[in-house]
Amino acid sequence: MLPAAPTMNTPIIVTTITTTRDEPDYDSSSSSITVPESSRSWMTNLSFGSRRRRSSVSVSSSTMESPHAKPHKANQAAWEAMRRLWRDKGQVGLDHFRLLRRLGSGDLGNVYLCQIRNPVVGLPQCFYAMKVVDREALAIRKKLQRAEMEKEILAMLDHPFLPTLYTEFDASHYSCLVMEFCPGGDLYAARQRQPGKRFSIASAKFYAAETLLALEYLHMMGIVYRDLKPENVLVREDGHIMLTDFDLSLKCDVIPKLLRSKTRLERSIKSTKRSVPACTAPMQPVLSCFLSSSKKKKATVTTVIRENVEVEENDPELVAEPIDAKSKSFVGTHEYLAPEVILGQGHGSAVDWWTFGVFLYEMLYGRTPFKGENNEKTLVNILKQPLSFPRIAVSSSKEFEEMVKVQDLISKLLVKNPSKRIGSCMGSVEIKRHEFFKGVNWALIRSVRPPEVPSEINKIRSRVLLPKLSKTDSDQPYQLRSHHFEYF
Ligand SMILES: Nc1ncnc2c1ncn2[C@@H]1O[C@H](COP(=O)(O)OP(=O)(O)OP(=O)(O)O)[C@@H](O)[C@H]1O
């Protein structure tokens, strides 16, 4: 039977019992939890097995003392300002920041726009996004470990399309995470602004390509994201994307593999007999360059070569996909849930390729593929309904060809059986090779001009016209209490 489906604006009460492993510790004390609806996101987890407690990562010491820990950000003014603040003050706390506006609220806490209180001489005044979570409140709601998992994951990340955690500290019973600020809103809002509330194929391809690279990196780090949707893809100042919100992510071990194309020997064997699938890699490297900084050793790839296999490699490919990850948690957003998540039979990294298909579909068609009249019907549709595409007008034969290609890719992503889904075997490599992405320069995509660069007006709006912190704000649960407003 399907789990109880929540309706909009009502709390979700779910009483599913299952066992999990590799979970970031959700509530295990009760078989029934109430999850307030937050945006379109919801989550339930009911873990009764043994769970590993994860210790919180001290970003303050790991990243700030070592500015090279985030090489992609090393030249950023925002990073440099934070590094100098740390160096000058010896530690960073809430009173070093001026909180300007509330940017948004989620299930775990509030996110504020902020600046360093005393500008660092010689550097531009930078904006930051500070996520503030009330640890005491989260502990009562059995969600503290979700917040800790998010912090742990954020501390690991160093990628152009993922958030940088500049610093973190505690203030009383609040945990504060200082991250990159994205002034361009999210892709859900951006889609609403498009003609017909749909992105053009070119725009969808751009956003999908950048999102794919972010997911690829996460998988290499052993992180199954599990909550892809346009609302979680933010737009940076330069128009490129930043995937955010890691509180539903699953962190697990990943053993990277180096796949090579067929050798002469294998090709001759194949001509007489069907060979093994490509994902049964004959070589298994131990890769350390993708490990978190705390585990980082030398960035080396050691290749273990299977005996009796001819060593002639043509363009070997690295595949680091947490294929063996297994979770039975019921997490995600209704319209984006993968069939295996709904069935509770255990899911792994292939859920991200399913959600990637839904994401691509929504960007192009302005709605998700299996949406029903209510959440329960949506879940039934996901399990039973065949995929279909609405007819939309195309203006040229080139656009028609592109539409055929993207539909083919979506059809391969939205395969209900996860083991037959594109990406489930070799991860992002398979998807990047699809005809739809032909011509995408993956290495230089950061230099491509994005479909929309948030205009100066938008930037000013998001900085100046966002709702001011009000009495109502201060009265809401899980916010900084009034005596903390002196910091604003
Ligand atoms: N770096 C950022 N720059 C700008 N706005 C942000 C940033 N991070 C978060 N926000 C805004 O704050 C809102 C809440 O943030 P976030 O989704 O991280 O909170 P959450 O508690 O994890 O939410 P959820 O309930 O979806 O899990 C987002 O919807 C977004 O609008």
In this predicted complex, what is the ipTM? 0.96
Question: Is 269 a member of any domain?
Answer: no
Say whether both 385 and 450 belong to one domain: yes
Active-site residues, by number, are 227
* The pLDDT of residue 348: 86
How far apart are alpha carbons 254 and 295 in whole angstroms? 14
- What residue type is 367 in one-letter code? R
Do 102 and 236 fall into the same domain? no
Nearest to 137 by CA among 182, 186, 102, 174: 174
DSSP string, 81-125: HHHHHHHHHSS--GGGEEEEEEEEE-SSEEEEEEEESSPPTTSPP
Which CATH number is 128's domain given? 3.30.200.20
Q: Do 165 and 220 share a domain, yes or no?
A: no
One domain, residues 185 and 334: yes
User: What is the CB-side half-sphere exposure of residue 38 using CA atoms within 13 A?
Assistant: 19
Q: Tell me if 254 CB under 6 Å of ligand 1.
A: no
- Whether 23 is in the pocket of ligand 1, judged by its Cβ within 6 Å, is no
Number of domains in the chain: 2
Q: Domain range spanning residue 77?
A: 70-180
Ligand 1 contact via 182 beta carbon (within 6 Å): yes
For residue 190, the model assigns a pLDDT of 95
What pLDDT is recorded for position 278?
37
Cβ 78 under 6 angstroms from ligand 1: no
Quick: pLDDT tens for 206-217: 999 999 999 999
Residue nearest to atom 28 of ligand 1 (CA): 104
Distance 440 CA to ligand 1 centre (A): 29
Q: For position 320, what pLDDT does the model report?
A: 65
**Boundary-marking domain end, from 128, 152, 180:** 180
Distance between Cα 462 and ligand 1 center (Å): 14
User: Closest residue (by CA) to atom 16 of ligand 1?
Assistant: 106
pLDDT (0 to 100) of residue 259: 65
Which residues in the chain land under pLDDT 70?
1-69, 71, 73-74, 255-331, 455-488
Residues 230 and 374 in one domain: yes
C-alpha to C-alpha distance for 394 and 94, rounded to whole angstroms: 52
Closest CA to 487 of 182, 116, 168, 164: 116
232 lies in the same domain as 370? yes
482 found inside a domain? no
Q: What is the pLDDT of residue 266?
A: 53
| Percentages of the chain per state (helix, strand, coil), in multiples of 5 | 35, 15, 45
Q: Rounded to the nearest whole angstrom, what is the distance from the C-alpha of residue 134 to the centroid of ligand 1? A: 15
Residue 390: count other Cβ atoms within 10 Å of its Cβ: 11
Kindly state whether residues 373 and 442 are assigned to the same domain: yes
Residue 306 inside a domain? The answer is: no
Q: What is the CATH classification number for the domain harbouring 375?
A: 1.10.510.10
Query: Could you tell me if 141 and 163 are in contact, meaning their C-beta atoms sit under 8 angstroms apart?
Result: no
Q: List, as one string, the DSSP characters of 241-258.
A: EEE---TT-EE-----EE
Q: How far is the CA of 273 from the centre of ligand 1 (A)?
A: 53
Q: Is 379 in the pocket of ligand 1 (CB under 6 A)?
A: no
Same domain, 94 and 213: no
Tell me which residue has its CA closest to atom 21 in ligand 1.
Answer: 106
* Predicted pLDDT at 59: 39
Burial status of residue 485 (CB atoms within 10 A of its CB: 0-12, 13-18, 19 or more): middle
Residues 223 and 176 in one domain: no
Render pLDDT for 475-488 as a digit per residue (tens, 0 to 9): 333 233 232 222 22
